Structure 1
């Protein structure tokens, strides 16, 4: 049984965490002593002592006859403390750090990008040489607020190929896909709003939404898109302001939205007055285009975003937003206020790569290579008792069930100790209901060390007392 001093420290840390997360802002009244004691299942005297110690530190203060209040200015925002508590192994921010900070030689089948050796580096070098010879303004000037016209015109043509009719004037370039989503959230959300995401979903959606201090609600995802009955129930219960999803290839499952699910989803969104944001970052991996919500909706209440980090370069930070004209006009103002402008350079390099004949050939080879590695990964993972939730038609991800009784976070922790970065299922699940699932990037599974480490870790977990 924990000692009294330990319980007091636990209560103090809980209060500090809520202040850091701005759950308790300055001048906020803290729960009564009895209410907090009941909530934390400790004695009243424990809470009294914890409050007295925090008051002595100047963190909180007592007001006669009223209770305890938070003192001082708002604490610096601590994203890790926002939202329901998570083990470090399944916290999106921590898992992102592990992938980004891993040494180049370290296998990272949990990351969400292709190895550098799989990218069209020769095409990039050719584009960089061509842009280096461009007019000085391209190399040194700010771009216009909407961004490079030639790239926006190219994007309009590319969107038309998947049924999204949008003029270049309704497309705004951003510094990345993440910045595009951040700007949309700044534009439409207030702290305390509710946002609907897929369960599972791309884990950085959750991390970014923490920064906007909104309530995140997950809706179960099926091979054809979100579970429509669950989606309707979430709209009824939570009245979300936004729904954020992947179009094309879903991350992490690899599923694709069906036309019937898309139509029903949009009907429900219109009835609820909800805005939909679809992230199309994996468009160039598709063999056959999946339905796009923006195509069915005509950008009336769907905002379409994307970037080129997965197929062109993650070093060239360039993304975009396509939306209705009045929203784009307001988003331009927001862009000027928060980043003033973009630059010509990255946009011009991206446009040059996309229009080179070598890019099409590179994509054809890349899709074929991913298909081969996907088949190989399914076979090798299957030999370990790891089976795909579905076998995707395209893309780099396999969303897999682990053998019975194997916890993905424990497996990831054991593998990291052996120099392999994995992505356990609950990183992607807002409801933390994917503890037996894991996302594998097939392009990062070519190193046989990964399977050796997995086999060893699985054996140890099965035989541990």
Structure 2
């Protein structure tokens, strides 16, 4: 056998030539030994050796009586390569990666969750101990197809308090809002369909939709909600199947869609046969509930998704889908096919937190702290000459513009060298038109070092 450590040998060069054919036409029939020897100008024994090695490596298949064929390889899907190719500093996955990698929990104003000391850890431990002692606790069996019924019943009650007409049968439990969105997309979309999103919007919407292999079109977002003229134009030009939005405590801007905009949006969606998906993960942070799309629509054209990850803990994975009755069965089948249901343990713990008053007391405290930290954050930003896009209407986010001449992606890159995680604007913008904006999580802005480091990197 030839010495494969010699580079390049005739065999190496022949294998490289065959690989080029494989790359250009996976699954195609390859030249015979005689024909390839003529094309390459080598002995037939060289071709035999090359084919033998490629067969062993799985790059060539042999079909007796038919010859050699290129392996029909499927290239792995790389999320980072789908859609626009931004600088790595403003990649829509960059914020999540950095937030989870930086060890100092006090320097993450760019992340999208509550600090540990804002979460009801002691209450969670108490409820978990109580639940695990109950004889009715399910430790071993799969849950019911739509999820733990008592929790669905409680969720229906809570949704009705927000004027969203839902019953337990119209609810499907999931392990997160992201999982809920994934199920909805699998149910309603095919690769190549078009989905409209806000610009800017929660960056993970882009990631989830790109993983579905759909066409994503951004609609400029205003202080009142989506630009309806642009929405109508996009409906005519692209014939979208879905519009994904967050009308209550919008991420990243912290604003609410106006009632007038919501009414006109629903009429446009009906005219153009577009399904609206409303993400309500931050809605519980409002002191006075706002009217979202699902409340106005009655779950006819709107699908509502939500979770408790942002208000209770990211470790207790519990989300839900609320949709019209004739869609729930199909959504449930997809959930079973792709994850075989949800955790009864997480659902039962969440249920206990809701019914014993713990969650209500936690939210009351949380809203007070949010208001206080928002005021402090706005003072710091004002001293650094930031300009607010709009005064936030509650929740945890402030969307603010850097002084002229500064790029948020560059500032975020410099900040990470000091272990400060920022959220640059273009990570939220499909059109990459928010390069001067940063999103601040006010719950993560309690440490003065956040603004000391920010001031330093703004001057570098």
In the superposition, the TM-score normalised over structure 1's length comes to: 0.83
The equivalent of 1:318 in structure 2 is 318
Taking the aligned partners of 1:190 and 1:27, their CA distance within structure 2 comes to 25
Once residues 311 and 233 of structure 2 are traced to their aligned partners in structure 1, the CA distance between those partners, rounded to angstroms, is: 37
- 2 CA distance for matches of 1:395 and 1:25? 53
Measure how far apart 1:106 and its partner are.
5.1
Which whole-Å CA distance do the structure 2 matches of 1:92 and 1:297 have between them? 31
Q: 2: distance between equivalents of 1:248 and 1:375?
A: 20
Residue matched to 1:118: 118
How many Å separate the matches in 1 of 2:311 and 2:26? Answer: 45
Question: 1:358: how far off?
Answer: 3.1
Counterpart contact for 1:426–1:433, Cα < 8 Å = yes
Aligned to 1:148: 148
Deviation track 1:294-330 (CA, whole Å, cap 9, x = no partner) reads 1111111110000000111110111000101111011
Residue 449 of structure 1: aligned partner: 449
Number of the residue aligned with 1:335: 335
Alignment of 1:123-142 (within 5 A): 123-135=123-135, 137-142=137-142
Offset from partner CA, 1:116-145 (integer Å, 9 cap, x none): 100111221121011111225522221100
- Structure 2 equivalent of residue 107 of structure 1: 107
**Which residue matches 1:439?**
439
Q: Where in structure 2 are the equivalents of 1:8-407 lying within 5 Å?
A: 72-105=72-105, 107-135=107-135, 137-407=137-407
Residue pair 1:247, 1:290 contacting (<8 A) in 2 also: no
Question: Quick check: 2:225–2:247 contact (8 Å CA) kept in 1?
Answer: no
- Distance (Å, rounded) in 1 between the aligned partners of 2:358 and 2:316: 18
Residues of 1 paired with 2:346 and 2:135: CA distance?
14
Name the counterpart of 2:429. Answer: 429
| Greater Rg over alpha carbons, structure | 2
- 329-338 vs 427-436, which deviates more? 329-338
How far residue 105 of structure 1 moved from its aligned partner, in angstroms, is 3.6
Q: In the aligned structure 1, how far is the partner of 2:225 from the partner of 2:291?
A: 11
| Separation (CA, whole Å) in 2 of partners of 1:291 and 1:446 | 31
1:321-346 CA deviation, whole Å, 9 max, x = no partner?
01011110111111111111222100
Q: Secondary structure at the match of 1:96?
A: helix
2-structure distance, mates of 1:255, 1:358: 27
C-alpha offsets along residues 97-126 of structure 1, whole Å, 9 cap, x if unaligned? 111222144511000001010011122112
Question: Within 2, Cα distance between the matches of 1:166 and 1:105?
Answer: 38
Asked whether the equivalents of residues 222 and 255 of structure 1 are also in contact (C-alpha less than 8 Å), the reply is no
Are the aligned partners of 2:106 and 2:447 in contact in 1 as well (CA < 8 Å)? no
Distance 1:307 1:359 in 2: 13
- Structure 1: tracts of 5 or more residues without a match: 1-18, 29-57, 60-69, 461-465
* Alpha-carbon distance in 2 for matches of 1:268, 1:396: 30
Deviation at 1:390, TM superposition (A): 1.2
Once the 2 structures are TM-superposed, how far is the Cα of residue 71 of structure 1 from its aligned partner?
7.4
- What TM-score results when the alignment is normalised by the length of structure 2? 0.84
Distance 2:332 2:342 in 1: 11
CA distance in 2, matches of 1:339, 1:377: 41
User: C-alpha distance in 1, partners of 2:382/2:27?
Assistant: 56
Q: How far apart are 1:94 and its partner, in Å?
A: 2.4
Call closer, same or farther: CA 1:302–1:449 in 2, change over 3 Å.
same
The whole-number CA distance in structure 2 between the counterparts of 1:92 and 1:25 is 33
- Partners of 1:151 and 1:291 in 2: CA distance: 23
SS at match of 1:86: coil
CA distance in 2: counterparts of 1:309 and 1:373, whole angstroms: 20
SS of aligned partner of 1:380? helix
Q: Which residues of structure 2 form unaligned runs of 5+?
A: 1-21, 29-57, 60-69
Q: Distance in 1 between matches of 2:287 and 2:128?
A: 28
Q: Is the 8 A contact 1:111 1:421 kept in 2?
A: yes
Deviates more, 1:384-393 or 1:129-138: 129-138
Q: Contact between 2:131 and 2:137, CA under 8 Å: does it hold in 1? A: no
What is the alpha-carbon distance in structure 1 between the residues aligned to residue 239 and residue 457 of structure 2?
43
Secondary structure at the residue paired with 1:138? Answer: coil
Aligned in 2, Cα 1:142/1:274: closer, same or farther, shift over 3 Å?
same
**1-structure distance, mates of 2:117, 2:149:** 31
Q: In structure 2, how many angstroms separate the alpha carbons of the residues matched to 1:95 and 1:25?
A: 38
Separation (CA, whole Å) in 1 of partners of 2:290 and 2:404: 33
Cα displacement (A) at 1:163: 0.9
Of stretches 99-108 and 398-407 in structure 1, the one that deviates more from structure 2 is 99-108
